[in-house]
Structure 1
Amino acid sequence: MKKTRLRAGSPAELLALGPYLLGFEPTESIVVVAVSEGESAGVARADLEAFESDRQLARRTWQTLSRPTPDAHALILGYGADHERMVAALRSVACSIEEWTGSLLVDHVCFTDGHLWWPLWEDWEFDPDAGQPYDPAPPSVVQAVCEGLSVTGDRAQLERSVEGPRGKQAASFAAKVRRQLRLVGSMTDADATTCVLDLLMRGLEAPAGMDDLDQARLVALVQKIHPRDDVWLSQTRASAEQHQVLWHHLAQRTPVEFAVPVLSLLGFAAWLSGHGALANIACLRALSLDPCYRMARLLDEALVNGAHPDLWNDMPDVSA
């Protein structure tokens, strides 16, 4: 799968692209984008209130984003209805980054209330009457949609998308997975590898096109470390988007008792494809269900330390 490239011709287009960089609509939020050689090198979001209450948050955020790309510059985007609070917080974030680095790293600061947008940063003078009409669907966003990028309603909705099914739906699929586990338990490692990679290839082509039996068998297989690692090590930056779609689909079908390996594979694929919000959400969900699951813990370390997905190319084989 090719890497998606989106071009923003103005700060207003950057604001409109923000939700597509995150995968959900930010509300009462500040988004920091690291840009290196004209391309996004990382994106981080936090609630407006979080930046207001923690003076060191901007510094820690930039440390994480800039660690793999020390030459990066910052774009700071705001989304919120309270103009005065937003301007004050954006100024604090921008100044904190530049004071800490000792360099003029911030290229653009702007915000929108959903109806109008304002550029800031040069002299920090804010005139409410100087707002310009905000277009949430400029050409760059149209391109994003055409490229297959999507936006959920908000972060809470993205979190709900990895919680899995409940009630009869969960019980029905769990029963199918248990039956497949009995079959998987009798497989040799070689047979499990052949089976999981065959199912994986079919799933990557059309996740929703897999029947219940195939989906349940794939979920059952990745409960075992060896076939799970076969799936894990098959991921590349080129295939990560397809893996993310597949494992996100399965996460929505898999009940909690079998969810941790599925969520870990989803989180890893999201990290590898640059979808940081989904990676964090899937990882936190996996750790909440099993704090000792090693793959989820390794992913959490990568996310906390701001590891760049390109590092995966240099990693040795791993197992847990």
Structure 2
Amino acid sequence: MAPHASPDDLPITLAGGAELAAALPYLIGFVPHESLVLVALTGDHEARVGVTLRVDLPAPGPAADVVAEAVARLGPSRPAAVAALVVTEADDVPAPVEAGADLLDRRVDELDAVELRALRTSTDLPGRAVVGEVARVLAGAGVPLLHTLLVRAGRCWDYDCPDACCDPGAGEVLPGGTSRLAAATVLDGRAVAADRDEVVTRLAPPTGAALLAMGRACAQVGVEQADDLRRLGWDRLAERSWRRVLEAVARHRPGTTAALTDVEVARLGWAVTAIEVRDRALRLSAGPSASAAEAVWTELVRRLPVPLDATPATLLAAAAHVRGDGATAAIALSRALDSQPACTLARLLERALHTGFPPSALRGLLTRAGEQAGAGASEQLGA
């Protein structure tokens, strides 16, 4: 199967099973822990990765509500199939043998995977109840569950595999080395976080001396903006702001060194407050400069104070969602809405994220907006 990629990218094939399990950090942007991950598969032969969703693994007991909400967030358009992966370090559990000795009285070809395993071992894989609930909810929606996998301690098990290779004490070792997907992630200038908390820390707002310095720079640039508006007029000021955005993006291409001063960060923060500039910046997420633009938005989010951080955080959320990184998108949107709760574009993107609006659909929307003179991307989103 091929990870979600931009139209200009060459697809990277994942064979499924252990390769899909090993790819999870690159699909969601960080190494998952104690998680349920649902991967929507689309296209012919269920060969293309669509929405990838991670939620905290439900506590022992009924998982129906958590699973139903997770499946709903895969989106209104039914995927061709779904892969469900349980990531946990939990110990094995007693094998669910209800019939006991009755298994010995039946032919082997009449037994399912769970019953065959029960004949060989007294333990079973953790998380089976969760994937069973996923299967039940998906069956109700008419969506096939193509893979059910356990990922634990650097190994992968297939819940549906009846062979000894997937007994609790076995499992397939996850492939090592640097995969093509890992290499593509690095070449694109992105780093995989150790966990979700690291993503939150990476996007944390400035504090202490850094906050004071940025506050002074933002105030200084705010006065400059007001003077320049009177001197240049709105159209010329907007064009200058757009040039500054493009220059910053050029300085953040993968492999380049780009250090922005506080004043440059402040000028960019003020620049994207203009709706015309914001919409043009939004469309960068669908083009060849997407990774460089995302690097700029990330730096602005890390360094700008409230409320100038809201628009860059929204731009970052759009860029992250386009490449399928729902975790970064959700964290960035939370930052934007904490800063400006009434930010319409952030609200619309948040709704799109929670209703499973596919990354490919957002990319298509931004691409079309870029091709239509005078039609802003935010207008097509409804902002």
**Offset at residue 42 of structure 1 (A):** 0.9
Within the alignment, does 1:80 sit opposite 2:88 as a pair? yes
3-state SS of paired residue (2:58): helix
Note closer, same or farther for the CA distance 1:33–1:171 as it changes in structure 2 (3 Å cut). Answer: same
Note closer, same or farther for the CA distance 1:77–1:136 as it changes in structure 2 (3 Å cut). Answer: farther
Note closer, same or farther for the CA distance 1:237–1:90 as it changes in structure 2 (3 Å cut). Answer: farther
Identity %: 23
Unaligned stretches of 5+ in structure 1?
none
Partner of 1:34: 40
**Offset at residue 192 of structure 1 (A):** 2.6
**Offset at residue 184 of structure 1 (A):** 1.5
Q: Calculate the TM-score normalised by the size of structure 2.
A: 0.74
Query: 1:49 is matched with which residue: 29, 54, 58?
Result: 58
- Provide the C-alpha distance between the structure 2 equivalents of 1:227 and 1:27, rounded to a whole number of angstroms: 39
Query: 1:58 is matched with which residue: 67, 78, 81?
Result: 67
CA contact (8 A) 2:55 2:70 kept: no
Partner of 1:209: 258
Within the alignment, does 1:97 sit opposite 2:137 as a pair? yes
3-state SS of paired residue (2:55): strand
Q: Calculate the TM-score normalised by the size of structure 1.
A: 0.87
What is the root-mean-square deviation of aligned Cα atoms in Å?
A: 2.7
- Provide the C-alpha distance between the structure 2 equivalents of 1:51 and 1:6, rounded to a whole number of angstroms: 36
Match for 2:239: what amino acid? T
3-state SS of paired residue (1:211): coil
**Offset at residue 95 of structure 1 (A):** 1.7
Query: In terms of mean alpha carbon deviation, does 148-157 or 122-131 score higher?
Result: 122-131
Which whole-Å deviations, capped at 9, do the CAs of 1:116-140 have from their partners, x for residues lacking one?
Answer: 3212225699622222323454534
Note closer, same or farther for the CA distance 1:92–1:256 as it changes in structure 2 (3 Å cut). Answer: farther
Note closer, same or farther for the CA distance 1:280–1:237 as it changes in structure 2 (3 Å cut). Answer: farther
Within the alignment, does 1:18 sit opposite 2:24 as a pair? yes
Query: In terms of mean alpha carbon deviation, does 39-48 or 123-132 score higher?
Result: 123-132
Which whole-Å deviations, capped at 9, do the CAs of 1:9-53 have from their partners, x for residues lacking one?
Answer: 241111111010000110001111011121111100001126965
**Offset at residue 223 of structure 1 (A):** 3.2
3-state SS of paired residue (1:130): coil
3-state SS of paired residue (2:33): coil
- Provide the C-alpha distance between the structure 2 equivalents of 1:152 and 1:288, rounded to a whole number of angstroms: 23
CA contact (8 A) 1:35 1:41 kept: yes
- Provide the C-alpha distance between the structure 1 equivalents of 2:51 and 2:243, rounded to a whole number of angstroms: 33
Partner of 1:254: 304
Query: 1:117 is matched with which residue: 125, 138, 156?
Result: 156
- How many residue pairs get aligned? The number is 318
Unaligned stretches of 5+ in structure 2?
1-5, 94-125, 370-374
Note closer, same or farther for the CA distance 1:144–1:209 as it changes in structure 2 (3 Å cut). Answer: closer
Query: 2:238 is matched with which residue: 171, 187, 193?
Result: 193
> Pairwise mapping of residues 208-227 of structure 1 onto structure 2 (< 5 A)?
209-212=258-261, 213-227=263-277
Partner of 2:218: 177
3-state SS of paired residue (1:13): helix
Query: In terms of mean alpha carbon deviation, does 209-218 or 132-141 score higher?
Result: 132-141
- Provide the C-alpha distance between the structure 2 equivalents of 1:250 and 1:263, rounded to a whole number of angstroms: 8
- Provide the C-alpha distance between the structure 2 equivalents of 1:115 and 1:271, rounded to a whole number of angstroms: 28
- Provide the C-alpha distance between the structure 1 equivalents of 2:325 and 2:334, rounded to a whole number of angstroms: 14
CA contact (8 A) 1:11 1:110 kept: yes
Match for 2:249: what amino acid? L
Query: In terms of mean alpha carbon deviation, does 203-212 or 160-169 score higher?
Result: 203-212
CA contact (8 A) 1:159 1:281 kept: yes
Partner of 1:242: 292
Within the alignment, does 1:270 sit opposite 2:320 as a pair? yes
3-state SS of paired residue (1:30): strand
Partner of 1:165: 206
**Offset at residue 255 of structure 1 (A):** 2.3
CA contact (8 A) 1:34 1:66 kept: no
Match for 1:209: what amino acid? A
Partner of 1:127: 167
**Offset at residue 4 of structure 1 (A):** 6.2
CA contact (8 A) 2:265 2:304 kept: no
Note closer, same or farther for the CA distance 1:280–1:171 as it changes in structure 2 (3 Å cut). Answer: same
- Provide the C-alpha distance between the structure 2 equivalents of 1:165 and 1:14, rounded to a whole number of angstroms: 37
